[in-house]
């Protein structure tokens, strides 16, 4: 009998880790105007993933992850563009203490984006996951060189779905 389980997620190469990251959320009504008007090198915002097309309430928080890439922004942006990201999935090792985020690509590859052992981060990750579910799986990955808010390097609208592996372990 063939094993149809996906290969385990691979760790990201060090040069793609960025300097820091955080969970964020934007109201559905602000997502498209906020990113659509910003000049940026890397962008994937398919119209079928717009909150309006998905029928989401205007005030619904759309979850996201922002990566502050520093000098690695260009490498991270190029790599993400090559991978064609599909979704970010929270994997809870201990829902109150530790877990990580796994990036799923359209080709089926999976990458461990971050891991953490921190109660506050685990709580934020749980909120991220709950918001994903309420937003029909819609979420985003935002790449910036720093947290000044002046420059955006890239943004990718993503969606979890029936082809994403979304689970928690105890």
Give the CA-trace dihedral at 21, 58, 47, 36, to 10 degrees: -60
Q: How far apart are CA 102 and CA 81, in angstroms?
A: 16
Tally of structural domains, the chain: 1
pLDDT digits (tens, 9 = 90+) for 65-79: 999 999 999 999 999
Domain-located, residue 55: yes
Q: What is the mean pLDDT of residues 134-156?
A: 94
Domain-located, residue 1: no
Pairing of strands 154-159, 138-144: antiparallel
- Given a cut of 90, is residue 168 above it in pLDDT? no
Please list the alpha-helical segments (H only) found in the chain: 28-36, 73-83, 119-134
| pLDDT band for position 150 (cuts 50, 70, 90) | confident
Over 142-155, what HEC string results? EEECCCCCCCCCEE
Domain-located, residue 77: yes
């Amino acid at each position: 009998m063939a094993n149809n389980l996906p290969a385990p997620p691979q760790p990201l190469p060090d040069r793609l880790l960025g300097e820091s990251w955080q969970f964020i959320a934007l109201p559905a009504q602000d997502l498209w105007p906020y990113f659509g008007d910003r000049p940026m090198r890397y962008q994937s915002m398919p119209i079928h993933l717009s909150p309006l097309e998905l029928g989401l309430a205007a005030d619904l928080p759309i979850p996201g992850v922002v990566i502050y890439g520093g000098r690695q922004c260009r490498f991270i942006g190029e790599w993400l563009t090559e991978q064609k990201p599909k979704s970010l999935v929270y994997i809870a090792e201990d829902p109150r203490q530790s877990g990580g985020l796994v990036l799923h690509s359209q080709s089926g590859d999976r990458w461990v984006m971050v891991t953490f052992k921190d109660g506050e981060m685990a709580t934020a990750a749980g909120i991220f996951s709950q918001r994903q579910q309420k937003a029909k799986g819609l979420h985003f990955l935002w790449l910036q060189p720093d947290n000044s808010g002046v420059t955006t390097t890239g943004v990718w609208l993503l969606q979890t779905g029936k082809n994403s592996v979304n689970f928690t372990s105890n």
